[in-house]
Structure 1
């Protein structure tokens, strides 16, 4: 079951200290530049011999290693001396607790996540780091859902790149068999006519498909409704991602929600067993409360997802759990509380 990470205590491995700092910065939406300094330092340390690292720490020459700066060298030196790095201790005290009050019981019931990204599209970390963090948080399964080809700005996956990624997912599952399952997936764009931005053959090779609108968000209500109803009625689609497309805060500014007949869309979701995503990103908070309530009344399934683009953002599902618990969504109707076998059975066309 998913749980809050306990704070690290001394002594701590330098890599673990750097990873935890990056995680804490990511879960509180710190600037990318700050996070990258610690993520890049982790990559560097994994290529440096332990004896050399200790010698450089003793000599005060850690910053001569490419990719190690003033802040990261301080963390490394303190960790190697057996201390809990001061910056890590400060972050754990300030931002290491729950992200939001409420939803704790539901958060503990989560087993998986149907929407997350790696550096294969617009995520900031490789697949193995996303998986490792998911395992540390207590996930039993996650679905890798990098973007589809049309979303070029997000480095969407062509057929060939998706085929390559599926081989990596197979490797992850071989190495973690019996402990964790990485499901094959995609966040596929819903095209203007409601068709999906990936070949049917490739969609058929996936375990689960999250479908989202990313273009022409201001389309008139009637064609937008037809577009979304067609997508959620497709037997290949399992989750309707961030259905209104709105932005309510954050560095990208705000954006109004798309106009569509929500009742018609959610009735199609209920009829075809497509889950309505409760997107947990604070800047999306999508769907708004009144649409969650409508989908609940209609009888829809739900998926509480992180839409994580970095490992620390996997923890953002706490925001979605607070909303779901407050709005009265029964846990049994939330697919991310299900075990992996039940998810696979439900997601199969």
Structure 2
């Protein structure tokens, strides 16, 4: 069993325990272990068999270690299966409703026998929730609004979930006899934040045998359609996956077409018609017959365009760029030299400073910014002023051992308080190398109040960058009411940077606003918001947002080397 699968089941275990009202520390231990396991990658069986699991994956106690061992050796977890039997399946779905945590769900279940989203809407519309102790009319209205949000999200999944589900499909198709090429298409190739279904394309002279193998894969829970060139299935969890087969000569055109977007494809077809050509999903044809295109680059060239990366294919200005050409190179993961906004066990992270530093070095980074929670975040073990200074001492000591090869920067994720002031006095903030200012409370403020609150923070001379600006949690919580354009304008005037939070549950700033920030001359920072070593791998999701925004390496702070970053941070803190 792969590490991602084990982590997902550990998270589910922690969530079900929360819904049962278990000790919060016990529940949190499962979520922390899940974060730690994600950082391992690959197959855990060898680590378990050799006894290296406890030594190499910190933060995992004896109880959870035994459960991981059971998972990787048997593919089952008895304790989880028992919890699933005890808990109505629909209760977990209630966690998607913004503002509904495990405690409130448990209370609703016990008081009103709610076991599903449909039950929740029925009792909320009847007014029954307003009369419950600890709820009230306002909470009931927020629940109704949250249900609307869930329904508008539909059955979409996170990009990270989609990648995990599609990986074994792609690998199996690639290994099938006769397959020459295989690629993921659709919104996942364009790196949208959430994905509706999965699209995979392959090239083979005879697609039928490949499709026969596909529908028989162990990942397939049900077959929806099965023809000679296309099959549609439901994977575990209900996600639809479509596999299409084309000839090698058709592959370039099909790859472009099934990548989309629809608006981009329409514009491409119009462009072909204007040049006396016809473009469809299988060919580009002229008056003398089909034109051979061995790659998408050749297809774009045939229409007088520079290659347009998949992330830009939304008909939002990419054709103007490609006509002028060449399109400036978009940022790659390899361009990042370091990152910021990372948590440790000083607050609510699962790893020590040293463990986070070593994990960063293993991933080819030359610096890492530590930004644990500030003192108001009691729920996250936020740092008192005394603990801040003790953490600084530990960072200084570690930097002595690293020498010039690596550096830890002293940062903080400082709460923006409801009135826009910051969580520490200036004399403390001055001691950090950088300050990430973030909203973690009073999400329900009116739009103008929230906007003024964040604007005040980004104008503070000691704030280096704004963290997760909209506060959204994809598929779980909508953004708070805020005028992000006004915030971006204020950050541009103040010289404050803005992060692209790469956590796949956030991806915040989103691509359209990141593009606007770039146009206003703001420096963006790709941060993982990592709470364990494995969270550093989320940088790739931030790269996807940055590419969709058209960012090149020079637009992003953490493509600079360590000495340049230190210089820029010092200049920012003294502005």
TM-score after normalising by structure 2: 0.46
Cα deviation 1:139-168 (Å, max 9, x = unaligned) = 111110000000100110000111111111
C-alpha contact (below 8 Å) 2:469/2:509 kept by paired residues: yes
Superposed, which structure 2 residues align to 1:107-122 within 5 Å?
A: 107-122=333-348
C-alpha contact (below 8 Å) 1:25/1:35 kept by paired residues: no
C-alpha contact (below 8 Å) 2:438/2:467 kept by paired residues: yes
Whole-Å separation in 2 of the counterparts to 1:158 and 1:193: 20
Aligned counterpart in structure 2 of residue 134 of structure 1, from 353, 356, 360:
360
Structure 1: segments with no counterpart, 5+ residues: 1-20, 47-64, 76-92
Q: Which residue of 2 aligns with 1:69?
A: 66
Whole-Å separation in 2 of the counterparts to 1:217 and 1:283: 17
Shift of 1:25: 6.2
C-alpha contact (below 8 Å) 1:228/1:265 kept by paired residues: yes
Cα deviation 1:58-99 (Å, max 9, x = unaligned) = xxxxxxx99863755999xxxxxxxxxxxxxxxxx969x9xx
Q: RMSD in angstroms over aligned alpha carbons?
A: 3.2
C-alpha contact (below 8 Å) 2:511/2:546 kept by paired residues: no
Is 1:277 equivalent to 2:503 in the alignment? no
C-alpha contact (below 8 Å) 2:500/2:524 kept by paired residues: yes
Q: Which residue of 2 aligns with 1:258?
A: 480
Helix, strand or coil for the counterpart of 1:193? coil
TM-score after normalising by structure 1: 0.74
Instruction: Tell which structure's C-alpha radius of gyration is larger.
Output: 2
Superposed, which structure 2 residues align to 1:1-349 within 5 Å?
A: 31=11, 33=30, 36=33, 44-45=54-55, 69=66, 72=69, 106-249=332-475, 254-348=476-570, 349=574
Whole-Å separation in 2 of the counterparts to 1:184 and 1:138: 20
Helix, strand or coil for the counterpart of 1:113? strand
How many pairs does the alignment contain?
A: 289
Shift of 1:236: 0.8
C-alpha contact (below 8 Å) 1:44/1:67 kept by paired residues: no
Range with bigger deviation, 259-268 or 314-323: 259-268
C-alpha contact (below 8 Å) 1:115/1:210 kept by paired residues: yes
Shift of 1:218: 1.9
Whole-Å separation in 2 of the counterparts to 1:29 and 1:279: 25
Helix, strand or coil for the counterpart of 1:146? strand
Range with bigger deviation, 156-165 or 216-225: 216-225
Helix, strand or coil for the counterpart of 1:124? coil
CA separation of 1:71 and 1:151: change in aligned 2, threshold 3 A: closer
Whole-Å separation in 1 of the counterparts to 2:386 and 2:4: 31
Cα deviation 1:7-59 (Å, max 9, x = unaligned) = xxxxxxxxxxxxxx869966x8963638739879768548xxxxxxxxxxxxx
C-alpha contact (below 8 Å) 1:23/1:311 kept by paired residues: no
Whole-Å separation in 1 of the counterparts to 2:421 and 2:331: 38
